[in-house]
Amino acid sequence: MTNDNLPNPINVIIYSYKGKLLKKVVDNLLQKSSKKNMIYVHIYDQSTLTKQEHFDQFDSLTYNHIFWDKIKSPCYYRQKIINDSKFSYTLLLSDNIFLNQDWDEFLLSSLPNKQSIITGKNKTILSNDGIFYLKKEEIKTEKMQQVYFANRDLIFAHTSTLQSVNYPSYIKYYGEEEILSLLYFSNNIKMYSCPDKFYTKEGSDTIKDLYTTFSKYHNYNEMIDLLKNQKNRYDSIDEPLMPDVNMFLKLHQIDLESIHPLPFPMNDVEYDQDLSKFDDVDSKKFMTKINYID
């Protein structure tokens, strides 16, 4: 259990899409903490069945069940909690990441300053993959080092630092890490990665592997526009920072001349399911007879 009187309050945000390891990840997170800092967990669980009963034992935890067919972006929920958070620190964590013992003390002591974040592990380099996509190459490292890529598996920072950059809620999966990387870099937020042994990732992302009711490429072209034009419909990078953008592209291996927007529509419909009245219609209104077994 956590204690509100402990220092360094850390708000842990976990979004899970049909993740089978969610309970084990949360158990590991709390058990492996040093117990010297306040840990609060926000869970958003998009699945067919609610797992509320698995988390009732935890005092410092909020569980939110999202119906399986909701099409809001996972990034939407991350942005919502980040923007509303009053905690000193924020940790974004994937639902298949198992941290080492005293993970909180390691992150707190390793964070260089307020204008920096710790993200992922090892070193990741971006490069072109065909004419539409970017690919990631990971190089294993055994120590903390500065990197130029934001890994959604783990992002840790002062909450105010994350709040200073618009989290791309208009993206649903593909393009999220690239936009974050460019925005952090151009806002002079230095990124550092953890050693390879700091955590274990079990399996791959369920959103990547499983069928989703939302488009994984929703607004993907906004990421392409931001790279090529330093602006899109939602974000813009000020002109004085143009050299930073060019340096970002050079540090990776991205040839802008060879990458193009997707020529086919991949976006979901632009409406808010929660505001629709269709969900309020009771199916029994369309039945003339109901059979049941007593």
Is residue 49 predicted with pLDDT exceeding 80? yes
Which pTM does this prediction carry? 0.90
Nearest CA among 156, 172, 179 for reference residue 10: 156
> CA torsion sign, 45 to 46 to 47 to 50?
positive
Q: End-to-end distance of the chain based on CA atoms, in angstroms? A: 45
Distance CA 26, CA 58 (A): 10
Cα 230 versus chain centre, distance? 22
| Residue 32 identity | K
Distances (CA, A) of 69 to 44, 47, 189, 261, 279: 14, 9, 36, 27, 12
Q: Is 88 helix (H, G, I), strand (E, B) or coil?
A: coil
Is pLDDT above 90 for 269?
no
Kindly give, in sequence order, each residue whose CB lies less than 8 Å from that of residue 262, ignoring residues fewer than 6 positions away: 132, 217, 220, 221, 224
Q: What is the CA radius of gyration of the chain?
A: 20
Given this model, what pLDDT does residue 265 score?
A: 86
Residues 6+ apart with CB under 8 A from 163: 82, 83, 85
**pLDDT in the model for residue 2:** 45
Q: Of 10-14, 274-278, 280-284, where does mean pLDDT reach its minimum?
A: 280-284
Please give the structure tokens belonging to residue 225.
Answer: 């526009």
DSSP assigned state of 108: H
Domains and CATH numbers, the chain: 10-268 (3.90.550.10)
Cα(236)–Cα(231) distance, integer angstroms? 4
For 149-161, the pLDDT digits (tens) are 999 999 999 999 9
pLDDT tens, residue by residue, 181-237: 999 999 999 999 999 999 999 988 999 999 998 999 999 999 999 999 989 999 998
Pairing of strands 145-147, 97-99: unpaired
Distance CA 152, CA 205 (A): 11
Kind of pairing, strands 89-93 and 190-194? Answer: unpaired
Considering all CA atoms of the chain, what is the largest pairwise distance in Å, rounded to the nearest integer? 74
